[in-house]
Structure 1
Amino acid sequence: MTTGAAMRVDAEQLAGMADTRLVRRRRIGATLLNVVVALLVVAAVVELVVNPNFDWPIVARYLFDTNVLEGVLVTLELTVYAMVIGLVLGVVLAVLRQSRSGLARGAAWSYIWFFRGTPVLVQVLFWGFAASLFPRVGIGLPGGLFLVSWDTNAVVPIFAAAVLGLGLNEAAYMAEIVRGGLLSVPSGQTEAARTLGLGHAETLRFVILPQAMRVIIPPIGNQVISMLKMTSVVLVIGVADLLGSVTEIYARNYRQIALLLVASIWYLALTTLLTYGQSRLERRFGRGISRLEDDRA
């Protein structure tokens, strides 16, 4: 064996030994990390089980209580109504942001600027106490001369005030999400649609929006989950949602921790279902885009 060949063999052996040491170190590090994580999980589970302050019998007693279930239903209703308002108005605002009219763009920008710049809690409170600013609403002349008028509290009850506060705030965020999705579609798609004779509305509906959905769906899913939890702020105007219901219960029995655990379990269950639905939607729209890209290739 020549000297050069011997040196190559030695180098290969050294490299193999170094790789072996590196793999062993990685395995030791991963094993230690697994052990630490497992110990922390076991400690957390043991603490949850043996600590009597969590009051699990009370949690089990109220988990499916009628008042709690009614609160869950109110929370779901608030989430659905607010998201519908937010999505519809958000699409309109996103389209206006791309309008050729400077006035329309300015109005849409001002709306987004205002509702993103003020806390949602303040907006919900504003709608809840709107009657103090406008005792009556109706049709008439400037200066408070009404031809037909109604009591503001009758027109905007507490539940409607909560929906308006959440929905109008959500529209500002939805507008930016939808606008980002629209901007992600190449401009050539619009030009191709116009070449085929499609109008602006048809291009938006049949060409732009279907392709933008891949970008829009993930953040919308996150917004739905955030809205589900954000509905808890309506407690301040007296709406008996999930958190409001458990608050009323622990105001009577003083079992705050147990009832808050009840609310947390329901929020976790609902967000888990929403997360699963979001993943299914992402998969569906992802398949459609993949097929389109395969056809182009």
Structure 2
Amino acid sequence: MGVITDHLDLWGEAIGGTLVLFFGGGLIALVLGFIVGAMRVSPIPIARAVGAVYVNWIRNTPLTLVMFFFAFCVPILLRQRIDPIILPMIALGIYTATYVAETIRSGVNTVPVGQAEAARALGLSFGQVMSFVILPQATRSVIPPMMSVFIALLKNTTVAAGFSVLNLGSIRSWLSEQGENQLVVLLWVMVIFVALVLLLAWLQRILERKWRIAR
């Protein structure tokens, strides 16, 4: 316990950095992923093409390279200094948005095509069909894989440790400089990550129960 109690301020900053990356990147991923997911199932060919290019391009690029571009190239292009945690957070959001989009697309595909066709025959627009017919039914099937995406996002926050961002992925090197046992530090990091993943699993069960009752 001394590894934690002797460095409470550093652990607090590391956990805070991880949570900022997670919630900030998650918000970006949800918003952008929803837009791209809608494009992927859009009846407009050019929208589907743009969505497919974005997903295939970003998803097949290693996260480290995406984060490298935002951490080093974007400040040069903008010619100004940016908070070190902001750019990795954006990179995480843009990268994770591809998986969110594909999860939404797979959930939409579980809804019978005839329901969308019937809604359009009644005169509903594409947005209304998605909002009132497709998404309410797709939500239940989307929750488990979506939570897996966010668990992966939580783990991917450690990649930011290589770009001068203090989080749970980098605290080992910080504490090793102060003479702490690296193995003990890694074990505590593992315990914290397991606790955070269990919280996400608990949230998943709540959402599944809620939507099961709603249906």
TM-score w.r.t. the length of structure 1 is 0.67
Higher Cα Rg, which structure: 1
Contact 1:71 1:240 in 2 (8 A): yes
> What pairs up with 1:54-133 in 2 under 5 angstroms?
57-59=1-3, 61=5, 65-131=8-74
1:226 aligns with 2:152: yes
Computed over aligned residues only, the root mean square deviation of the Cα atoms, in angstroms, reads 1.9
* Alignment partner of 1:153 is 2:153: no
CA distance in 2, matches of 1:80, 1:185: 29
Q: How far apart, in 1, do the equivalents of 2:44 and 2:201 lie? A: 38
Looking at structure 2, the residues matched to 199 and 88 of structure 1 have their Cα atoms a distance apart, in angstroms, of: 21
Distance apart, 1:251 and its partner CA: 2.2
State how far apart, in whole Å, the 2-side matches of 1:124 and 1:136 are: 15
Letter in 2 for 1:257: L
Return the alpha-carbon distance in structure 2 between the equivalents of residues 180 and 257 of structure 1: 41
User: CA–CA distance in 2 between the matches of 1:60 and 1:200?
Assistant: 53
SS in structure 1 at match of 2:174:
helix
Measured against aligned partners, the alpha-carbon deviations of 1:232-267 in whole angstroms (never above 9, x if no partner) come to: 000010000122234311222141011111211111
CA distance in 1, matches of 2:138, 2:125: 18
Partner Cα distance (2:149, 2:94) in 1: 14
Identity %: 32
1:152/1:112 Cα in 2 relative to 1: closer, same or farther (>3 Å)?
A: farther
| 189-198 or 113-122, which deviates more | 189-198
Is contact 2:4-2:11 (8 Å) kept? no
Q: Deviations over 1:67-93 (max 9, x none)?
A: 112211221111111111112111111
Match of 1:237 in 2: 163
Match of 1:153, as an amino acid?
Answer: R
Residue from 251, 261, 269 that aligns with 2:195: 269
Contact 1:181–1:215 (8 Å) recurs in 2 = yes
Distance in 2, Cα, partners of 1:119 & 1:91: 22
1:251 equivalent in structure 2? 177
Runs (4+) off by over 6 Å: none
Greater fraction of residues in strand: 1
1:102 CA displacement: 2.6
- Aligned partners of 2:57, 2:77: CA distance in 1, in Å? 25
**Partner in structure 1 of residue 89 of structure 2:** 163
- Corresponding residue for residue 135 of structure 1: 76
Deviation of 1:105 (Å): 1.7
Q: What is the SS of the residue equivalent to 1:122?
A: helix
Aligned length, in residue pairs: 215
Distance 1:114 1:191 in 2: 31
- Structure 1 residue identity aligned to 2:8: D
Say yes or no: does 1:202 pair with 2:119.
no
SS at match of 1:158: coil
Larger RCO of the pair (alpha carbons < 8 Å, separation 6+) = 2
| Superposed displacement of residue 204, structure 1 | 0.9
Is 1:130–1:152's contact at 8 Å kept on the other side of the alignment?
Answer: no
The two structures have a TM-score, normalised by structure 2, of 0.91
Deviation at residue 197 of structure 1 after TM alignment: 4.1
8 Å CA contact 2:33, 2:101 repeated in 1: yes
Distance 1:188 1:286 in 2: 23
Unaligned runs of 5+ in 1: 1-56, 138-150, 290-297
